[in-house]
A and B are shown apart, each in its own frame.
Chain A
């Protein structure tokens, strides 16, 4: 069975490498700032002992005050997992760095989040609507959409 790593311990390791990158952490998840997301993603993938080489899932949640993007990571080498989160406080034009160059699996998932939540991922090679058609007005999974 995959071991879920303690978020607080991982947060300490991340904070050693990149100070001011961790917003908060608990046992379940690490919440990082959106500016440092790409560096943290590279760090988690390439650091020996962590080796998060597999992105299970990338999804987004609308909490009204902010939009949160959730990354479920797994290391196939060490058989452990981690939940990484980041928050966008700008609801009008939310922008996050893309992690496609770190995990290829993020390609379609980021397109889906862009389509249904309206979060723009900077550095994505082909950011266009995935499930809905071009020219669809609005982002249906936002709380404000009716």
Chain B
């Protein structure tokens, strides 16, 4: 009896396909993506009705931001420490760290991003539902840090995805990350549903 075998790519073909994805991303991401900073403009004219709706909606959003776990290196431990009882980000309604990008609002990229990992980060960012925000945590995520000139490290995650808040440090303490989250709240409060 003839058994019909589906076409399965050989391991080598999968490797070559992965390499071509990385090279394409590397070529297309030579310049940093500008930070989304239109919200800094205070001169937004709003009518009364939208302002009220905005206020309620933004209030609800600031108190229910679900972060996405994206620990890539040692900064992840400070992020985990932020979630534990001493620093307790449950205070901001963030107690559920989500592993699924579909259920998350805030992506905390904690650690060194290599070019091999970069397509995965971009994919996860694109899978997140709007509205979404990104924190670049630590020197490596901001600019590549000490590995900036390295052959394998992305010099700042803003080459791959737009970043809302940068939290400097190597690694930043949990207080620093909480300050970054407060900055995200400030940003969300200035958001309008008309966007």
Contacts and interface: CB of A to CB of B under 8 A. Distances in A.
Nearest to A133: B19
Contacts of A134: 12, 15-16, 18-19
Interface in B10-61: 12, 15-16, 18-19, 22-23
A131 interface: yes
B132 interface: no
A131 B19 contact: no
A123 interface: no
**Chain B interface mostly helix, strand, loop or mixed?**
helix
A128 interface: yes
B116 A131 contact: yes
Nearest to B116: A133
Interface in A24-79: none
A133 B151 contact: no
B25 to A, nearest CB: 11
A128 B116 contact: no
Instruction: Say which size band chain B's interface belongs to.
Output: 10 to 19
A135 B152 contact: no
Nearest to A138: B151
A23 interface: no
Contacts of A132: 116, 152
Interface in B59-83: none
Contacts of B22: 133
B16 A131 contact: no
A128 B15 contact: yes
Contacts of A129: 15
Given A140-B151, A140-B152, A135 B19 contact: yes
Nearest to B17: A134
Nearest to A136: B19
Interface of B: 12, 15-16, 18-19, 22-23, 115-116, 151-152
Per CB-CB distance, the 9 closest pairs between chain A and chain B, nearest first, are: A134-B19, A133-B19, A134-B15, A135-B19, A140-B151, A133-B22, A134-B16, A133-B116, A133-B18
24 contacts: A128-B12, A129-B15, A131-B116, A131-B152, A132-B116, A132-B152, A133-B15, A133-B18, A133-B19, A133-B22, A133-B23, A133-B115, A133-B116, A134-B12, A134-B15, A134-B16, A134-B19, A135-B16, A135-B19, A135-B23, A136-B19, A140-B151, A140-B152, A145-B151
